Every structure is written in structure tokens, then in C-alpha cells.
Amino acid sequence: MTKKEKVVFAIEKLEELYPKIPIPLDHKDPYTLLIAVLMSAQSTDVRVNQITPLLFERADNPYAMVKLSVEEIRDIIRPVGLSPMKSKGIHGLSEILIEKYNGEVPSDIALLEELPAVGHKTASVVVSQAFGIPAFPVDTHIHRLMYRWGFSNGKNVVQTERDAKRLFPKELWNNLHLQIIWYGREYSPARGWNLENDIITSTIGRKTVLNAYYKNKKSR
């Protein structure tokens, strides 16, 4: 297969497996999505979805959030990890949203990245899932699969995002990044990987990855 054919194969197989794409983090608007994505750093979506209802019951908009102290926010979100940094970020960005944006979440990635505790990935997820603006947020699953499929060199997530945007049609970015995440979780995880279940990697994966897999399997 040429690389172009491999890209087409991956797109078609992902569309076949995930014609309807569930959003991993529960939310009701751009603000609650922003908070949920911020909380998901070095945590799991399952854990975040367990904690956000407790937080949003107290404050589901920036005006209510700033009425809570950083310590109160921290006590609620402690189970998701990194609560000192995340609670300061949630309180701080809520203040800025009120002061600069009338309590609304901006739809511009650059403006989002100026908010406390909001990095490029978080900003990309928000513009993509909340506003429908084409973006390609790269998480560990996408970074791993782009390398396994031979679509990126695995050097860093910046390069992976650049390669993904170059290879995939822009109109598919918002769906594809979610489809790849779900595929990585279900069929091509970092641990407990069974290549027989991983139809995309077994078909188009880079030879070094496939050889390493089989070598490791034989040594067990």
C-alpha cells in the first residue's frame, strides 16, 4: 500500500467502526467542557465524569465558580489528581472569562491558550467539540497510533499533530481524532495489546512496530 492508500484504509475502517462518535467527557456547554477537559489531564475520562457532576452542582458557570474559593474547588476535584494546579486554573480562568469575555468561552484557540491551566490540547478539544471548528487534538492514543500506523515518527505530539493535519482532510479532523481515540482504547492499547484484534495496525502498521510485537510475543 502507498501511504495515501493506508490513510484511506484507516479513515474507512474508523468510519465503519464508529459511525456515531460518543463524546468522552460529559458536558452541557463550552464552559463545562472546558472545565472537564482541564480536569482530565493525567486522569481518566471515567474519573472526571464521576467528579464533574459534584462540581457543576455547585457551579456550572464562571459567575458561580468564582464564588467558590480555590480550596473549595480543590476539595471537590481532589480525586482526579493534580488538584492544586487544576483548582487554581479553574478559579483563575473563570475570573478572566468574566472580566474579558462577559462570562463566555472564546472560540479562538490562541485566546483559550492564554487562560490559566489551558494548554494547546485542551484548547483544541474545546474549539473542536464545543464550536465545531476543525482541530486535531493529540492525546496519548493518537500519538501512539499515528506512530504504529507509520503516519508520524513519534518524536513528539507537536509533530504528530502536524502530520495528522497534513495527511487527513480538514473536514474530517473533528470526527477522526475522536474515532482514533476510541479505536486506541478498544483495539490498540499501550498495554495488553493483541495485534490480532487490531485490524488497522496489522494491515498498515510500520514494519518495525510489527516486528517488535512478534519478537516480544515469541520471547514470552
What 3-state DSSP class applies to 104?
A: coil
Q: Which residue in 26, 45, 60, 139 is the catalytic one?
A: 139
The answer to whether the beta carbons of residues 33 and 129 sit under 8 Å apart is yes
All residues at 6 or more sequence positions from 195 whose CB lies less than 8 Å from its CB, including other chains: 201, 202, 210, 213, 214
Is 67 a residue of the active site? no
User: How far apart are the C-alpha atoms of 91 and 71, rounded to whole Å?
Assistant: 10
Catalytic, 121? Answer yes
Which residue is catalytic, options 6, 121, 163, 198? 121
Q: What residues act catalytically?
A: 121, 139
